Amino acid sequence: MRTLFRISVLSGVILGAAGSGVRAQLPLKPQVAKYVTVNASVVALTHVRLVDGTGAPARDDQVVVITGSKITAVGPAAITVPPAGATVVDLSGHTVIPGLIGLHDHMYYGSQAGGSMKAMFDSYPRLFLAAGVTTIRTTGSVDSYQELNIRRNILEGLIPGPEIVVTGPYLQGPGPGPGAMHPLTGPEDASRMVSYWADEGVTWFKAYTQISRAELKAAIDAAHRKGVKVTAHLCSVGYREAVALGIDNLEHGLLANAEYFPGKTPDNCPTDYAAMTRTWAELDIGGAAVRQTLADITAHKVGMTSTLAVMELSSPSRVPSDPRVLEALMPDAAKAVQAYLSGGNAEREAVDVAALKKAMAYERAFVAAGGLLGAGSDPCCLSAIAGFADQRNYELLIEAGFRSEEAIRIMTLNGATILGFADRVGTITPGKAADLVVLRGDLTRDPAAIRNVVTVFRLGLGYDSARLLQSVKGLVGLR
């Protein structure tokens, strides 16, 4: 029965007469409107290959109906007819996936000179969106106030960009560190800082490599008292220790867990990074030590964030050169990236590559053990920039051995679950926000199709990826 009623039944949502729950075309601000190619109260994407974010096998010839800001129906084209008056977009030959959820998606880029962490509040929101990333957690901030303001500006439709989950300034221990971090003086200081920023509106914190167990414990307790969460890029504290302290999430997978290093002493980050890399490269992923870590993490329902794209930078000879990245970078940064990547040497990088392969195996083992794995780009440096590094992550998750549908689930539903709002984003399901990405080609057969973003829907508005990309050319590294 090819009727609207059938769609309603399929979706479990009653699509009333146009008007009820249907948003009129939005009066968009010109600075947003210039990137929007689809703005209609009802949109039907027809004949798509659908990877819905749940991990279920891809389905061919599907229809996705968007009403206002929400997905209202999903079903096979044979029985799912677009509602009368809908704007119909025939997407034969395209794959539709949920908007990507970047769990480690900074709003800064570190320039090569001096290691400064420079806020990218102009280019990054559009670049994330252009690449299909519709939600980010900033996971270490160099300017939390500005992140809060950008978040609000995006929500109010003043600028285009993803939903931003704002993180407080880094929680770092004493010692020389990057300039944007406050060195904690002890547990009271950690507690004070967390309480202050939670009151200002940030909802996550990220602890960093030199923090002590006592400071981390104080930070976690203060955060939980405020109803917010803590993740970490660890080194001084091992994963099992952090889990015992009550941490909510762990960043970077294997290559930030120093607990397997024989020279590790409590509260100290080993300084011999080369030796630590050798430890990771030689680690027995099936062995008792790793099994115990993964059992601890999963038993406490702690999420882990895969950041393979930034980890791959330690092995420049295997990083594919991406002309889109070079075009987005300011000229000096593009030159630095080209020099870095062309200076790669496979022989010299053998240990780094072995460590990267172990990091992939570690993530597979974590998921096999029932762990909740998300992903993020860490667009901090070199060729790891907003959005494009998220796309590279997908290819690396496939290389790690995940099926296409599993990798997309890691980058969508699992991220939403870690952030605590999987009820409203993360899968292509009636009732959820219409955040989805249209890719040219068949993603399940060609991993590189993740780069072929045509249109990105955010809350039902379709943004043109090419226009967004055009607008950030030469800006990354600058602003």
Nearest distance from C-beta of residue 207 to Zn ion, angstroms: 12
Query: Measured between alpha carbons, how far is 404 from 410 in angstroms, rounded to an integer?
Result: 10
Q: How many residues bind Zn ion (CB under 5 A)?
A: 1
Amino acid at 220: I
Candidates 40-48, 80-88, 271-279, 377-385: pick the segment binding Zn ion (CB under 5 A): 377-385
Nearest distance from C-beta of residue 105 to Zn ion, angstroms: 9
Please list, residue by residue across 325-349, b when 16 or more beta carbons sit within 10 angstroms of its beta carbon and e when fewer do.
bbebbbeebbebbeebbeeeeeeeb
- Report which residue's Cβ sits closest to Zn ion: 378
Q: Quick one: 352 or 378, whose CB is closer to Zn ion?
A: 378
Candidates 149-157, 174-182, 264-272, 371-379: pick the segment binding Zn ion (CB under 5 A): 371-379
Are 206 and 244 contacting, i.e. CB atoms less than 8 angstroms apart?
Answer: no
Nearest distance from C-beta of residue 310 to Zn ion, angstroms: 7
Query: Measured between alpha carbons, how far is 404 from 383 in angstroms, rounded to an integer?
Result: 24
Nearest distance from C-beta of residue 158 to Zn ion, angstroms: 27
Decide if residue 105 touches Zn ion (CB under 5 A). no
Candidates 164-172, 276-284, 349-357, 370-378: pick the segment binding Zn ion (CB under 5 A): 370-378
Candidates 45-53, 71-79, 234-242, 378-386: pick the segment binding Zn ion (CB under 5 A): 378-386
Which of 313, 381, 378, 475 has the alpha carbon at shortest distance from 112? 381
The token duo for 273 is 């990074």
Q: Quick one: 337 or 381, whose CB is closer to Zn ion?
A: 381
Q: Quick one: 62 or 138, whose CB is closer to Zn ion?
A: 138
Q: Quick one: 391 or 444, whose CB is closer to Zn ion?
A: 391
Query: Measured between alpha carbons, how far is 320 from 392 in angstroms, rounded to an integer?
Result: 9
- Of the candidate residues 378, 390, 405, 464, the single one contacting Zn ion (CB under 5 A): 378
Nearest distance from C-beta of residue 342 to Zn ion, angstroms: 25
The residue behind tokens 């967004």 is: 468
Nearest distance from C-beta of residue 60 to Zn ion, angstroms: 38
List, in sequence order, every residue forming a beta bridge with 67; answer none if it has no partner. 42, 70
Q: Quick one: 52 or 378, whose CB is closer to Zn ion?
A: 378
Q: Quick one: 309 or 428, whose CB is closer to Zn ion?
A: 309
Q: Quick one: 147 or 378, whose CB is closer to Zn ion?
A: 378
Nearest distance from C-beta of residue 111 to Zn ion, angstroms: 15
Binding-site ranges for Zn ion (CB under 5 A): 378
